[in-house]
Amino acid sequence: MKRAGSLAAIMLAVGLLAPGAAAAEKLTLVLNWVPTADHSPYYYAKQQGWYEKAGIDLAIETGKGSGITAQRVGAGADEIGIADMGTALVAKSKGADIVAVMNVYANSAQGFYWLKSSGIKGPKDFPGRKIGNPPGDAARVMWPAFAKAAGIDPNSVTWVNIAPQAKIPSLKSHAVDIVTDFYNGHDIYLRVFGDDLGFLAWRNIGVNPYGNSVIVNGDFLRSHRETVKNFVAVSQRAFAACVKDVDPCLKALFAEVSGLNDHEQHDEWNRIKELMRDPYTTTVALGWFDPKRMDSDYELVKTYFGLEKPFDVKSAYTDEFLDKSIKMTKP
């Protein structure tokens, strides 16, 4: 991990940094996937200089799946990341030193998409089919939980490695029968496939662990609590601002990321707001973890995966940095 404190001390000693001035802490945020609307608050806050004013020199890196992000943050390769919470718990059981400090998706965004014309009516028809999915994706990690909830053999399907951008083309060409994807992209599938689209959200079959969350390397948290506190404060504020008016946030995203469609990203953000709402984020604080749900998520991981090394789930998250005056809007 990168450290700025010692450098600041050296600069002050040799007169390159004025007394009373503080060098910004270099911090890397590795995303779960390629940047889209759900990441726009970070880009907006960075563009507005909010992180800089909070003493943070933030770099944002594209991710390659929640599983890989959890591994990187857990190993200290990056200080902060965005990862599916269930996947993060699996990683923690394998020794990843991570702590979640804010949830983004209070509901699981995971879903399966297929074509009705293929003869698939629901998960009971999944056995013998090909599911397209990137190898590092959270859905593949959590698949056994879904399969058991649906009453099918977890080994009855064939996983096909495809890039995130290839999901719709692969489904359209029948290279695969089913793809996994986040609900925030639901409107794109509707436009492409119309009435032929089949869909099932994981949360509708009783598998609803917390989705994308902000995770921090445990060692970094212990030694840089103030930096983490400031990052969470800025990010929580940024999400609230984007919920109020997403246009400036998407403009900040588009300024840094090419190839995104404005209309699609607005649709995606509307779906994201659905995922962000639950009784706690709307009444306690935006980003709040419900301890009972975290206990449930831990048991889900324990039941379906078998923890390599059991741990106290309370060590996997904290709500202490969240501002209770900032709440998610109700519908």
Which pLDDT score is estimated for 264?
94
Rounded mean pLDDT of 162-178? 95
Give pLDDT, residue 271: 95
Q: What is the reported pTM? A: 0.83
Are 5-107+209-316 and 110-205 equal in CATH topology?
Answer: yes
Q: Scan for tokens 């450290």, then name that residue.
A: 3
Residues whose CB falls within 8 Å of the CB of residue 4, separated by 6 or more in sequence, listed in order: 23, 24, 25, 26, 57
Query: What fold is seen in the domain 110-205?
Result: D-Maltodextrin-Binding Protein; domain 2 (3.40.190)
Dihedral of the CA atoms 307, 277, 195, 143 (nearest 10)? 0
State the alpha helices, DSSP H only, in 124-261. 138-150, 167-172, 186-193, 218-223, 225-244, 247-256
Domain boundaries, the chain: 5-107+209-316, 110-205
**Structure confidence by residue, pLDDT tens digits, 253-266:** 999 999 999 999 99
Q: How confident is the model at residue 8 (pLDDT cuts 50, 70, 90)?
A: very low
Confidence at 41, pLDDT banded by 50, 70, 90: very high
Between helices 262-276 and 186-193, what is the axis angle to 10°? 130
Query: Strands 98-103, 212-217: parallel, antiparallel or unpaired by DSSP?
Result: antiparallel
Q: What's the rounded Cα separation, in Å, for the pair 168 and 165?
A: 7
How would you class 308 by CB atoms within 10 Å of its CB: exposed for 0-12, middle for 13-18, buried for 19 or more?
Answer: exposed
Mean of the pLDDT values across residues 269-281? 96
Convert the pLDDT of each residue in 214-256 to its tens digit.
Answer: 999 999 999 999 999 999 999 999 999 999 999 999 999 999 9
For residues 156 and 152, give the distance between their C-alpha atoms in angstroms, rounded to a whole number. 8
Closest CA to 201 of 267, 275, 266, 151: 275
- In the chain the beta strands, taken as DSSP E runs, fall at 25-30, 56-61, 80-84, 98-103, 110-115, 130-133, 158-161, 178-182, 197-201, 212-217
Looking at domain 5-107+209-316, its CATH superfamily turns out to be Periplasmic binding protein-like II (3.40.190.10)
